[in-house]
Amino acid sequence: MDRSLSAKQIPNRERLIVALDLPSVAEAKALVERLGETVVFYKLGLQLFMAGGYFELIEWLRARGKKVFADLKFFDVPETVRAAIMQLHGRGITFTTVHGNDAILKAAVAEKGDVQILAVTVLTSLDRGDLESLGFQCDPQQLVLSRARKALELGCDGVVSSGLEAQTLRDELGGHLLVVTPGIRPVENSVEDDQKRIMTVKDAFSSGADYIVVGRPIRNARDPKAQAEAVQAEIAALFESHQLG
């Protein structure tokens, strides 16, 4: 039995979050309709926010029983972040992301209401060389752990972290924080992209992730629904075998 597998009471089918990183609301809706009941949880990021109709899309998703992750990575002076987080109240949003220092995270947590705050640790598009160029003289794992500890102290509900650091977070912080892991690539996916710290579905969950975010491997698949169903089947097999063990 894998002791790192998430023990949180999350329906297996909600552990997959599909990223709707598309140019328009119409294309996002088309993908959601194509995926049908296979996917329950969707991430809406900055591209759709700038396309217009962001909150109308959230209402459309919620009316269809879908869960929403508003991945807007708020980063500004604390008062501005606090006021922005207030705009998410009452919209049925499950998660949102916040970047920044203690004061920014604290402001977000103070106004979170019915939205769970995920602190961004280190983007999965960055490796050690990128961090050094930004002035961080440490490896990604150390930085992720440091930021996660601080997020926990400040009252954040979880963190966004590569699966490569998930095991360290579980070893050091136990199950106190939700771990949401992007940069997921199925084994057969070999398309080059901007994600550097990537991991497979099985390895991410075996390392302690509670949720995974999958974008291009599903969106760009020849049959997106079949690809999503394959991921869901893999998740179900992992957690069902864990429960049996």
Q: Is 40 in contact with 12 (CB distance < 8 Å)?
A: no
Q: Is 208 in contact with 134 (CB distance < 8 Å)?
A: no
Which residues neighbour 151 within 8 Å (Cβ) at sequence distance 6 or greater? 105, 119, 121, 158, 159, 177
- Confirm whether 73 is a catalytic residue: yes
Q: Give the DSSP letter string of 180-224.
A: EE--B--TT-----S--S-B-HHHHHHTT-SEEEE-HHHHTSSSH
Helices (runs of H) and strands (runs of E) counted in the chain:
11, 8
User: With the CA atoms of 181, 183, 187 and 193 taken in that order, what torsion angle do they form, in degrees rounded to the nearest 10?
Assistant: 180
Q: Is 90 in contact with 114 (CB distance < 8 Å)?
A: yes
Q: Which of 29, 73, 150, 202 is catalytic?
A: 73
Which residue in 13, 170, 86, 153 sits closest to 161, CA to CA?
170
Phi, psi (deg, nearest 5) at residue 173? -115, 0
Return the SS3 of 17.
Answer: strand
| Residues labelled as active-site residues | 73
